[in-house]
């Protein structure tokens, strides 16, 4: 019985995944083009990677120039290196998703 109450409690307290995701336009994306607030678009999703910038610095590549932009190509090719990000990087990226991109 207690087990079921705990499960119901967790379900009520945990917001659904889609609740924290919003729709972002190019206009709004472009506003977040600094290291103080860095959003990037990859495919159809928008990520707030502000907190990840300094971590990526330690990988000896500065991602600041991609803040506020469609970084799909840059991310998939590690800029111009032609290499792809690892599965680990793709999983990590999911953590920073804040919404979906919507055409203006």
Q: How far apart are CA 4 and CA 33, in angstroms?
A: 46
Contact status: 64 vs ligand HEM (CB under 6 A): no
Binding letters toward ligand HEM, positions 17-56, x by CB under 6 A: -----------------------x--------x--x---x
Supply the minimum distance, in Å, between the C-beta of residue 69 and ligand HEM: 8
Does an H or E element contain 12, and which?
helix 2-13
From residue 51, how far is each of 33, 47, 81, 97, 102 by CA, in Å? 14, 11, 24, 12, 24
Contact status: 58 vs ligand HEM (CB under 6 A): no
3-state secondary structure of 33: strand
Query: Using CB under 6 A as the criterion, which residues of the chain lie in contact with ligand HEM when the complex forms?
Result: 40, 49, 52, 56, 59, 61, 63, 66, 71, 74-75, 78-79, 81, 83, 85-86, 88-89, 92-93, 96
């Amino acid at each position: 019985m207690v087990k079921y109450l705990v499960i119901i409690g967790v379900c009520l307290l945990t917001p659904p995944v889609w609740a924290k995701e919003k729709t972002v336009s190019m206009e709004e994306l472009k506003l977040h083009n600094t290291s103080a607030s860095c959003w990037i678009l990859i495919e159809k999703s928008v990520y707030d990677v502000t907190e990840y910038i300094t971590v990526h610095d330690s990988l000896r590549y500065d991602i600041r120039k991609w803040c506020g932009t469609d970084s799909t190509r840059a991310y998939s090719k590690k800029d111009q290196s032609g290499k792809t990000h690892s599965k680990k990087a793709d999983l990590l990226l999911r953590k920073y998703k804040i919404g979906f991109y919507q055409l203006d």
